[in-house]
Amino acid sequence: MKIVKTKSTVKKLIRELKKVKALKDKMEQLSDDELKAKTSDFRQRFMCEADKRVLGMFPFDVQILAGIALHRGYLAEMNTGEGKTLTATLPMYLNGLTGKGAILVTNNEYLALRDAEEMGPAYEFMGLTIKAGVKRNEDDRFENEEKKEIYASDIVYTTHSVLGFDYLINNLVKSSEERFLRPFNYIIIDEADSVLLDSASTPLVISGSPRVQSNLYEAADFFIRILQEDVDYEVEEKNVWFTEKGLSYAEEYFGIDNIFAPEYFEIYRHLVLALRAHKIIEKGTEYMINEAGEVALIDASSGRMLKGVKLRGGQHQAIECKEQVEITQENRSMASITYQNFFSMFPKMAGMSGTIYDAKDELMDVYGKEVVVIPTNNPIRRVDCPDWYFSDSTKQFEAALQLAVKKHETGQPVLIVTTMISDTEIISHLLVKEGIPHSVLNANNAFWEADIIKEAGQMGAMTVATSMAGRGTDIKLGPGVKELGGLAVIGVGRMLNVRDERQARGRAGRQGDPGYSRFIVSLEDDIVEKGTDPEKLKKYISGERKISDWRVKRIVNKAQRINEEVGSTNRKTSKDYDVVLQLERKLMYDTRDMLLDGGTLEDEKIKAIAEENIDGFLKDNKQLTKAALNRYILDNISYEMEKDMRYLNLSDKSEVKEYMLERVDKSLEEKRKVIDSENGMKDFVRVSALTAIDEAWIEQVDYLQQLQPAVSGRSSAQRNLMYEYHAEALKSFRKMEKRIKCNIIRNILLSEVSMDKKNRLHIILP
């Protein structure tokens, strides 16, 4: 094995590799039963022998090296085709032995099911249980008991989105019996750059009950259409905000005096959503109109149409209004979390990918994770040719077609990789005109796309695909293809980042096979048009101004660098926004867990909360009236009116407070008499508190989801947006705390309770 890295981290891992290899002969001499019995000895070296006996594959040295790195919690870069699937069995087995569970997540259901099915026999041979946490049909759902069985297994293969949503759902259950997750232990993230970086800016959100449909979408959309750029608003990369003149214009248009006043929050929010829909969120790259005439989001990392997924906080409805399609119902956000904060919850997290080293600095900064480059088992024989540069897309596509036809005529298999779905259609049309049979993958179905991409290495195969189609699937060369130079990868268009380009090139030349790659780019590539002065580009593209190849190269590569920087900034911003929600979420979830695990509020605590609520009421009603007092008691303490209230001196707050506390004691005692059981009373208080917490927390999550885009629309030149967001979020959290305390007491004192003949408690909350 040739070592191509000399970093101290890799040297340490190699020392451990030698220790594992030293025991190879000893392991081979054990019988199957003796080898299985070694599971209880808790040693990492036995899995290699199990893989050989059950799967017929003994891991290469580099795979063992990567396995050690993953066990140590590193992010491992392994070239495409180096066997990440087999590599993962080593640390998954070792960490599965702890009895605390080991989870492997990847970015689609196909890979999770495939790997669980193929690697499962090796784990089972060694006495561990294994389950897949996904189904082939993504519309099918596991029942609660099935999820319990899945997550109780030693080994779980699933997707990052399914696991994330299961975490949120697990923290919305109403009883401890409904929970299906156990405490997190160890996780490996396959295709880690796609998950930790490309998907990191979009949080997982669970939607709940519909919000009252707003009539402001149309008004905001019309207003945005009449604004002038650089006068009423400014755009910078993927950010847009109103200027002071634009804000004044909005106040005049809607007849309001201060657009930032709390009572006009909804107007301002809808204006920001409409502005973003028109100026930032692009049709064709971020969303499309599907055959049903609906706005469908596009996964930036895969080009897939995201079925059933909507942008949060009303942004989706603003796009629907812009596109003049039916505006769908806006639902409340019940729970939310970003991948950055989700995966940071695992005590031990590792990851692997073929293209992760380029983002090593960001991964260290965000996740505190070091990237280790694992050497290849065989020298790389792929020929990576210099890029070709053109001023316009017509010449670019002609050059790509000519190169593809030239390779195809020899029988060499060709994979043409594009950045956009629309480009695959252009290439396909050109190939049809040439009479060349081919497959087109727009990355709409992970199952059949993987089957097609596997065949892309056969003699004479011509495949056109978006950059991420079939990611995670090896392209093996057919008979006679090596002699022709292996798979030829032709990239059309500068991609979003260097990682995606390395991923595309890595399709060819797996495990020491020959291969070929070349990228063909132009000034009309989507990434260039978005990141360069349009007037200057127009002159170059039209031929009005001549431009050299080196100048094109400079403009194109600069546009890619800018896009990478914007992506990194957006991910950091997303994490910064979620810091507030993370702290609040931990507090709320810990409180919920305490209640679900049998905790409750004792009488002293209940009375203390009631007293705090009463103090707040009296503070807000300095000139107390009998009507206000009656209303508060009926809404919070008791439905019964008492005659002796007329003797109260309303100006004596201590007397009024004492009276109200007596009413609290009386209502509490009435509940005790009806329930007539200490445990029953604790259960009743637990349900009352849990309901109050959940209702208030859902409102808070929903508000924060709406607040983010609203804050981002304020003029960045004069405001510290993150400071403003944190200040607003803290203020709303304080309000939520008061609302929870009010509703806990209200639920306890005003609920109707009864016991049936089987001594079961029935609760009707107010």
The model's pLDDT over 170-218, given as tens digits with 9 standing for 90+, comes to: 998 888 889 999 999 999 999 898 888 887 777 787 776 666 667 899 9
Collapse the DSSP code of 415 into the 3-class scheme (helix H, G, I; strand E, B; otherwise coil) and give the result. strand
What's the pLDDT band for 42 if we cut at 50, 70, 90?
Answer: very low
Question: In one letter, which amino acid is 216?
Answer: L
Q: What is the pLDDT of residues 605-640, one digit of tens each?
A: 999 999 999 999 999 988 888 889 888 999 999 888
**Residue 591 class from Cβ within 10 Å (0-12 exposed, 13-18 middle, 19+ buried)?**
middle
Q: 460: how many CB neighbours lie within 10 A of its CB?
A: 16
For 556-581, the pLDDT digits (tens) are: 999 999 888 888 888 888 888 888 88
pLDDT of residue 210: 66
Q: Which residue has the tokens 């490996």?
A: 188
- pLDDT for 3 equals 36
**Can you state the angle between helices 360-367 and 549-596, rounded to 10 degrees?**
20
Please state the rounded mean pLDDT for residues 164-170.
93
User: Between residues 22 and 487, which one has the greater pLDDT?
Assistant: 487
| Phi, psi (degrees; rounded to nearest 5) at 74 | -90, 165
Q: What is the mean pLDDT of the chain?
A: 86
How crowded is residue 625: how many other Cβ atoms within 10 Å of its Cβ? 10
At residue 236, what is the residue type?
Answer: E
Going by pLDDT thresholds of 50, 70 and 90, the confidence category of residue 717 is very low
Residue ranges of domains in the chain, CATH in brackets: 8-200+340-373 (3.40.50.300), 213-330 (3.90.1440.10), 381-564 (3.40.50.300), 586-764 (1.10.3060.10)
pTM: 0.82
pLDDT at 57 over 80: no
What percent of the chain is modeled with pLDDT above 90? 44
Q: Per residue in 360-394, pLDDT tens?
A: 999 998 888 999 999 998 899 999 999 999 999 99
pLDDT digits (tens, 9 = 90+) for 674-708: 898 888 898 899 999 999 999 999 888 888 888 88
The Cβ of residue 1 has, within 10 Å, a number of other Cβ atoms equal to 13
Q: What gap in Å lies between CA 305 and CA 705, rounded to an integer?
A: 23
Which letter does DSSP use for residue 374 in this model? Answer: P
pLDDT reported for residue 152: 97
Among 540, 500, 538, CA closest to 517: 500
| Average confidence (pLDDT) over 403-419 | 95
What is residue 2's predicted lDDT score, i.e. its pLDDT? 37
Q: Rounded CA gap, 116 and 136, in Å?
A: 12
Asked if the model's pLDDT at residue 716 lies above 60, the reply is no
- Position 104 scores a pLDDT of 98
* Region 260-288 average pLDDT: 88
> What is the Cα–Cα distance from 101 to 156, expressed in whole angstroms?
8
Query: Any idea which residue has 């009375």 for tokens?
Result: 607
| Angle, CA 530 vertex, CA 524 and CA 532 arms, to 5° | 80
pLDDT computed for residue 38 by the predictor: 63
CA separation for the pair 404, 412 (Å, rounded): 9
User: What is the reported pLDDT for 120?
Assistant: 93
- Cα separation, 541 vs 524, in Å, equals 8
Least confident among 76-90, 290-304, 748-762: 290-304
Whose structure tokens read 């349009």?
534
Average pLDDT for 579-592 = 88
